Each structure stands twice: as C-alpha cells, then as structure tokens.
C-alpha cells in the first residue's frame, strides 16, 4: 500500500499558518489534521480531541518516557507534543496527515521522519510581517520587537525545509502547497508498489 504523506507546515508568527492550514484542509478533505497533546488545562470552548488531547503533567511525562511523541516541548511550564501512534497508523493506511507546528518542533520531526514534506510559510516581506503582527494590536512595542526578532530567527531556520511558500494571499499560498503535494504523491520512495508490479 502507498504510504501517506507527513505534511509539516511551519512559519514565523504572523505568516498566517493557521489560516492557510484551515483553507488547505477545506480544499483537501482527505488530509487528516494531527491533534497535539498538552498538559495545560482546557480553555472555554475547547474540546478533548478537537483542539488538543488534554493530559495531566504526570500523564504527559509518562507518555514521554514511553516514547509516545514524535516531538514535544515544554513551553512556559506546559508540555505540548505530537502523539506518534496516530501518525504512524494513518500513514500506514495510506492517509496523508498535516502537522502545523513551530520551527523547533519541525526540525525535530525532520530527524525522525526525513521522508516528510516540510513546507515553510514566508511573508511577502518583513515589512508586511511587521504590519500583520502590529494589526493584531495585542502586543506592546517591547513585545512586538521581541516577536519580530524571534521571527527573524525562525525565518533563518526555514532554509532547512524542503519547500518555501510565500503567503501573499491565502488562496495563492494554498494552491502552491497543493501543487507541492501533488508532486510529492508521485515520489518513487512513496510508491514502492509501482515498482513491484513491473519487476
């Protein structure tokens, strides 16, 4: 059976990762979305298995010890991680699965799953990135500068990805990603059965 794609999309804050991923999933309904686990408490309106799998810190640490995560991180005192089993099961069944994770998490996934499709989302320009973050109106000037500095660091790490897609408009970015996925589905290493038929 053809192995499913592991699609990893990252980008600096303000590049529109969430919006692009949501639109991609609406246009590619056969792609499954990987739900992360966290040790933080649910927020109002969040549901188990939809936004996150909610686990106690102790339970999360047991999962870490058991090797149950593809990648995980401790962020401001709360764990966040990508459960490994659902990804392995879906890919083995020939299903594509999408991870929307930060750059550091994606670099860890690259080490464990080098056959993944790694896509870095870029803003049209750094000035546009600054405008998008400023437009939110949620950061002080100091927080804004800190976020922009972190974005520069992430963009430098983005050069390690296989693909770079500029998000000038959501529709155009999603179509570029769909073009990448169409090509990835024909990779020789993802289709060993094609060779068995003629050997």
Q: Quick one: pLDDT at residue 28?
A: 96
Dihedral of CA atoms 128, 129, 132, 136 in degrees, nearest 10, equals -150
Cα 74 → chain centroid: 17
Q: Quick one: pLDDT at residue 141?
A: 81
| Residue 148 to residues 72, 78, 134, 178, Cα–Cα distance (Å) | 24, 23, 10, 29
Q: What is the mean pLDDT of each run of 10 residues along the chain (199 residues)?
A: 91 90 96 95 91 95 96 89 94 95 91 95 90 76 84 92 96 98 90 79
Cα–Cα dist 132/189, whole Å: 39
Walk me through the domains of the chain, giving residue ranges and CATH numbers.
1-31+96-199 (3.40.50.300), 35-95 (3.30.63.10)
Output the six-digit token pair for 166.
């500029």
Q: Quick one: pLDDT at residue 1?
A: 66
- Give 169's DSSP letter: S
Cα 1 → chain centroid: 25
Instruction: Name the 3-class secondary structure at 10.
Output: strand
Maximum C-alpha span of the chain: 63
Instruction: Name the 3-class secondary structure at 162.
Output: coil
Q: In terms of C-beta distances under 8 Å and separation of at least 24 residues, what long-range contacts does 145-148 make, across chains too?
A: 147/13, 147/14
């Amino acid at each position: 059976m053809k192995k499913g794609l592991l699609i990893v999309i990252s980008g600096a804050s303000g590049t529109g990762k969430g919006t692009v991923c949501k639109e991609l999933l609406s246009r590619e309904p056969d792609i499954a979305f990987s739900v992360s686990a966290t040790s933080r408490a649910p927020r109002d309106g969040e549901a188990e298995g939809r936004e996150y799998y909610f686990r106690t810190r102790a339970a999360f640490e047991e999962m870490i010890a058991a090797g149950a995560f593809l990648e995980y991180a401790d962020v401001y005192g709360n764990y966040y991680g990508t459960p490994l089993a659902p990804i392995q099961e879906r890919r083995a069944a020939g299903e594509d699965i999408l991870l929307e994770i930060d750059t550091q998490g994606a670099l860890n996934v690259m080490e464990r799953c080098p056959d993944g499709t790694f896509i870095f989302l870029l803003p049209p320009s750094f000035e546009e990135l600054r405008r998008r973050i400023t437009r939110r109106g949620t950061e002080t000037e100091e927080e804004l500068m800190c976020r922009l500095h972190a974005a520069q660091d992430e963009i430098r790490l983005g050069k390690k990805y296989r693909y770079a897609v500029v998000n000038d408009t959501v529709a155009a970015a999603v179509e570029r990603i769909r073009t990448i996925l169409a090509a990835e589905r024909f990779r020789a290493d993802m289709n060993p059965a094609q060779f068995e038929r003629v050997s």
